Each structure stands twice: as C-alpha cells, then as structure tokens.
Structure 1
C-alpha cells in the first residue's frame, strides 16, 4: 500500500480476529493510519524520541457492523491529565434536565452510572433532582453511560453488564461519538488507541439485541464533533419511535457499514493532513506566526499524519495544568504550555486542535477583545475563522 506522498504504508496483516461486539470472526480491516503513539501519553517536554508506537487500524465486523480497533493493543499506561471543558459540563446539566422532562417517572428513582474518562458525569444533577445511587448489585431505574463504554476493549461484554444493571421497565441512556459524522466529516484524528469501538446506531442495535436490549429512541448531540444519545430498554419494554428508523436510513445512505466506503476515509485523511501541512507552510512563508490551542488525545494523530513539527508549530497551550511542561507524542515534539503564554505571544494564527469545541476556544480568547488573530480549524479541511479586529 502506498500513501499519496509515495511513501510505503504497511499492509494489513491477516489473522483471525474476533469482533469486540458480537465475537464473530467475520472481521476485516478497512482503515490504516499507520503506527501511532498512545493517545494520552504526554511525555515531559525534554524526553527524547522516538516515542513508542503501535499500529492503529479500524476493522469492520461484517456480521454486526461494529467498527473497531484492530488486534494490536498498546501496553503503555496512560495518565489522565485532561481538564473537562465548559461545553462538557454544561452538556451534562442540560442532558439531565431533558431526560427528566421526557421521562418524568425517572425523577427521584434509583440511578447507576458507568463512569467515563471524559468526565461529563450526570450524578450531581440527578442527586439534585432527588435520585439515589444504586447499591452494590442493585438494579437501577436509570442506567447511564456517557462516552464510557468505548474505553472498554470488549464492547459486547460491557454492554451486557449495562443490561444486567437495568431494572425491569428501566431506561439505559448511552451517549457516544457517532461513526456517521466521523466518516462524513473526515474526523480521522478521533481514531485513537484506547477508544476500542466507533459506533453506529445500526451496530449498537445489533449488539444490544444479543443482550436483550432494544433501541427505543435516539437524539443527535453536538458533543465531540457529533454524538448520539440513545435510549434503550429491555426488549419486551421497548417501544421504538420514528427517530430510530430515520437515523438508520441516514447511516445506510452514507454507507458506513460498507467496507469499500469506509476504506475511503484513509485517502480522505491523507488529503486533509497534507492540506494542513501546506496551510501551515504557507503561513510560515508569509512571515505569520502560528501557535496551537489544545493538547487533546486526537492531536498526536492529526499532527503526525500532517508532518507538523515545531518548525511549523512552535508550541501549543492547554487548560490542563498536568500537561504543562510536557509535549505532544510522536514525531511532532510540540511542547505544551499554559494559555497565558499564547495570549502573551499574540500569534497571527491560532491552530485550534480542540476543534470540537472551537466556539468555546474562540470565545475564551476573544473575551477581552482579542488581538486580531485568525483561527485555523483543521477538519474536515483546514478553514479559517476570523476573530475580533
């Protein structure tokens, strides 16, 4: 296999791979973004390279349609350093209000939450509404998984645990990054070690059925570049509404269960990565300074595929104090600094690496009127947003 730049790319190795969802063996590779560092590994800035890397591939199960990481698993422990965004915090509060509005019988009931590495816990808001946390082994009227299950290597087994925790007549609410916007929006940098499944509604429906669950309703939300909030019940209790069929039709029209269609994401990723490199090179040639905002787990893949180093991006900044004095892993070696250093430098262009909360980032930097910077959002293709003048 050869990249658009003419570089040799390792071909997929053939092996017997069991699906992380249904455990079937009809699983095929569809996307290869090369060997990448572990996404949440941010070494101290003075740590010399090269950093450890592992293959990063997407595979499709032809039976249940779950898209998932390939068989190679990183063995590097990851330290949680991120700080939860204001967008995520506000989303948790508004989500609880909407669920209790739509399902008033759940107010004051027994709840259980499967925690996520991303934060966004609903519990504080549910407690305020009178809910009680389920005790050890107790079944819950409302079971919540907000961006949690994708961090578990065996998706099907973990879905079974959620089904077992659900009381008869209860509601399971699952929110996750949706495969459809990942595909159509070329969000290739969201493919990362530690996120084991890239879920469509169709795949969730198929795997859920194996564990006595059925999808009742679905809602599209803006989190992380496009997520789904899916309401499920035990199969005998579920009464699916029209939102389910509408979204399944959208997924089918996009071809996200088709291995040929999914494979086109690889070429789209290389194209966007090359375009970002060209855009940063253009700014440098014109004498403009470019600095980054954010050091998310998606930055290593984006910058590595784009061949961006400190020559084009001298440093980036992040809200998380635990990341200061560290660097983005991989080939870029871009150091991570406090946000005040970005404001002090007043770059001509800010590359928004946390593109999924670009509005929040721009509002934060423009709160005092800004300095006339242009904001560069990298995906689906690099495009500019002009700040205050």
Structure 2
C-alpha cells in the first residue's frame, strides 16, 4: 500500500507511505487507510512553555482491517507520557449512571441470584475509576491472581497495542460465572459526528459494536446487554459472559445496537473514510472563526488542553496570534504549551482575569460543568463556542 499524503490545505505531499499495516486483532494485512492526518506531535506531549521546540512529529493514520473490520491506529512510534488530565464531571456522572443501570439490570447478581462480591478494574491511563461506586454496593477488589465476579474496562482496552493479548487478559480475569463490562467510544458516533480528532497516538483501536461482539466471541464470551450513553457523542457499555453461562440477558439491546451501527456503515471503509473530508472542513472553520474574531477585535481564550485539541490546532495551524492561550483545570498542564503550535496553557483563573469575549471549548461534555465553574464568562457578556470538532456557538443558558 503506497499513498501520498498532502496537508489539509492541499499543498505538496508530506511523504509517501509504503509500509504494510497489520491488524492489531486478527493479524490480517488486508485493509484500507481511511484517515491520514500526516505527521502530528504526540497528543500527550505538552512541552514546557519556554521549550522552543521543534517538537517531534509522527505519522497518525487510521486503517480499517478487511478481515475483521477493526479500525486500527496504523503505527505508533511514540512513547506514552505520564497523563496529566483531570477527570471531567461528565465522566463522573456517566460512571454513576452506568453502575446504576448495570445494577438495575441484575448484573451485580450472580447466576444463582446471590450478590457478586469481587471486582477487577482495567482502567484508562487517563484516570477515572468505578471502584468507589462498586464498593458502595458491596463489591471489593479481588486478590491478585484470582478471577473476579465483575471485570470492568472503562476506555482501557484501546490502549493495548496488541489487541488480542489485551482482550485475552481481561477475559482471563473473569471468574467462571462472572461478567465482563467493556466501555468504549463507538466508531459509529465518531463517524456520525465527523470526530476525526478522536484519532491519536496511544489509542490503538476504535471499536464498533459489531466488531467488538465478534472479538468477544473469539475469546469465548457472548454479549448479554448493551447500554448507550451520550458521553463523547456516543459511548457504549457492553456486558458479556462466557458462552453458555446463565444469568440475566437483554439480547434485544445488543441486537438493536449492532443493527443500527451496521446500517450506519461502520464496516464500510468508504463510510468511515468520510472522516478524511471532515478534517479540513472543521480545521478550516476553526481557523476562519478565530481570524474573524481577531479582525473584529473580539478577545478569545480556549478551554481544555485535551488530546483531541492537539491534532485540531496543528491541522488548522493555529498559533497564539489567533488563540492567545488555552485554560485547563489540570495543574500538570498549566505552564506548558501545546505541541507543534506554541499556544500556552494557563490556569482557569486566567479566564476570569482576562474576561474574554468568547471562550472556545474543545470538549463538548465540559460545557455544563464550565458554565457552572466560570459563570463570569456569560455574566460579563461573553459566550462559549464549542469545537468538537465542528464550530458552533453554545445556546444561551435557559
């Protein structure tokens, strides 16, 4: 497979790519490159503000396997850095909702109706945990090496470069009659939203529900329930047990979700490949919006130095002339800058101190939380503009 890669403005090709890609799940080398962002800095590398660079860049491509349908990160030569993000309130709320729904579905009960007692969690390196919530309903972490009644993976599996080994570890951690819970940002939502900037180094797989059901079957598990949440535009929680083990089921919830995603084209490279066209559209729209604000004399700040903002700012080539700073609630990111573009990252208090005419928010799920945390923005006549990845002005608060 050889392909020339041009930047988002159609200039000369950046490089030619001829290396074969191997599926991280099934090992096939047959597939289609569906999204190519060219050379990008690592999205978890935030240099010190006084670091002059240049920052290292690496290919960033999504490849869809023709054998199993998994959307893969084609290659990743980066070294993961210590995460510095803060868990958003929207994720905390979703976890609480998920545990309540799982409990209501009877999944915290064993096949004999008795309560489950033990839990193992495969968490995301970005933080967040359900263990406190599950402790409140009687589940305790299992002793190392023992199978757990309940095994949870919340956005963790996608960080395993070897998907087959990663899923096998999670399956092996489940007690014989236990339940496995897998939560993921579904590819169907990413495609529907044009969320091309969900692609990042360190995230090796992008699951659709039909593909993950197939993967579970390969390790001897069958899905029993599917729960959908609005987090990140569409998050799915799949519950699964070993094939043939009894217990509560809600198969229609699984079948309906699988059917809906198949109808949306999640296994069609041409459909998923629409993400390629979405890159220039959203990047150019953001650059145009910020240029218009500057020309009109409107002051602008950003909020959320999130990993998904890194390729967006780099693709749009947005520097401090258009975006003077981005505030973030994580102390570990403050005093640093975005990689590739020298936009500084500042403390949340700077938003109040500077009193901008608008704040560009790079994570939609943070809107309600930040409106409550920084009411001074709208109280002072400012507005919130959401970019995730399309640009839109947030509706006024009711």
- Work out the CA distance in 2 between the residues paired with 1:111 and 1:79: 26
**TM-score for the superposition, normalised by structure 1:** 0.94
Counterpart residue number, 2:57: 53
Please tell me whether the aligned partners of residues 7 and 38 of structure 2 are also in contact (alpha carbons under 8 angstroms): no
Instruction: Give the superposition deviation at 1:227.
Output: 0.9
**TM-score for the superposition, normalised by structure 2:** 0.92
- Work out the CA distance in 1 between the residues paired with 2:321 and 2:67: 46
2:270 is the counterpart of 1:260: yes
2:73 is the counterpart of 1:69: yes
* Deviates further, 45-54 or 123-132: 123-132
2:21 is the counterpart of 1:17: yes
Please tell me whether the aligned partners of residues 116 and 150 of structure 2 are also in contact (alpha carbons under 8 angstroms): no
Change beyond 3 A, Cα 1:28–1:367: same
Counterpart residue number, 1:361: 370
Counterpart residue number, 2:186: 178
2:155 is the counterpart of 1:147: yes
Counterpart residue number, 1:99: 102
- Work out the CA distance in 1 between the residues paired with 2:376 and 2:242: 47
Pairing partner for 1:131 from 116, 139, 144: 139
Describe the superposition over 1:243-283 as per-residue Cα deviations: whole angstroms up to 9, x where unpaired.
22211222122212111222221111111111111111111
Within a 5 Å distance, the mapping from 1:1-389 to structure 2 comes to 1=4, 2=6, 5-10=9-14, 13-74=17-78, 76-103=79-106, 104-105=108-109, 107-237=115-245, 241-330=251-340, 332-366=341-375, 370-387=379-396
Which stretches of structure 1, 4 residues or longer, exceed 4 Å deviation after superposition?
1-4, 386-389
- Work out the CA distance in 1 between the residues paired with 2:47 and 2:332: 11
Describe the superposition over 1:38-66 as per-residue Cα deviations: whole angstroms up to 9, x where unpaired.
11111100101220010000011111110
Change beyond 3 A, Cα 1:113–1:230: same
Q: Structure 1: which 5+ runs fail to align? A: none
- Work out the CA distance in 1 between the residues paired with 2:15 and 2:267: 22
- Work out the CA distance in 1 between the residues paired with 2:377 and 2:24: 48
Q: Structure 2: which 5+ runs fail to align? A: none
- Work out the CA distance in 2 between the residues paired with 1:3 and 1:373: 34
SS, match of residue 256 in structure 1? coil
SS, match of residue 64 in structure 2? strand
Please tell me whether the aligned partners of residues 60 and 75 of structure 2 are also in contact (alpha carbons under 8 angstroms): no
* Deviates further, 62-71 or 127-136: 127-136
Instruction: Give the superposition deviation at 1:310.
Output: 0.4
RMSD: 2.0
Instruction: Give the superposition deviation at 1:28.
Output: 2.8
